[in-house]
Amino acid sequence: MPALPLDEAGRYVAGAYVVFMLLILVYVGIMAAKLQRIERDLRELASFAEQGNGHKKAAPGREDEDGEDRAQSEPVAPGRGSEDQSISVSSGPSESRGGDG
């Protein structure tokens, strides 16, 4: 088949690349939704842990192994602040407890 004129061809090429981009974005969106759920569950879990174990601890917001208290004692803001906390939360246990996976 003879090559398509440039304006028609351009649409197909653009279509292919757009499909590619869209798939990536859809995937990222799904990952984001998963992360949201994880964050929400962690928050619930943290409050549950505090209720259940709060009376055992001397003071809240202390340096703690799992850092859950740390995240909870700051006013929870959906910004970089809480994100930094959650990054250190996830890396905390594996540093402080050597035997972790």
Residue 69 and residue 62 in contact, taking contact as beta carbons nearer than 8 Å:
yes
Three-state DSSP class for residue 100? coil
Residue 74 or residue 90: which is nearer to another protein going by CB?
90
Distance in Å, CB of 37 to another protein, minimum: 9
Cβ-based nearer residue to another protein, 74 or 96 = 96
25 lies in the site for another protein, by CB under 8 A: no
To another protein, the closest distance from the beta carbon of 41 in angstroms equals 6
- Closer of 34 and 62 to another protein (Cβ): 34
Shortest approach of another protein to residue 83 CB, angstroms?
Answer: 12
Collapsing DSSP to helix, strand or coil, 86 comes out as helix
Footprint (CB under 8 A) of another protein, residues 59-88: 66, 87
Short-list 48, 35, 15, 49, CA closest to 82:
35
Which of 25, 31, 77, 96 is the binder for another protein (CB under 8 A)? 31
Which is nearest to 50 in space by CA: 26, 76, 28?
76
To 10 degrees, the CA torsion angle through 78, 82, 84, 89? -130
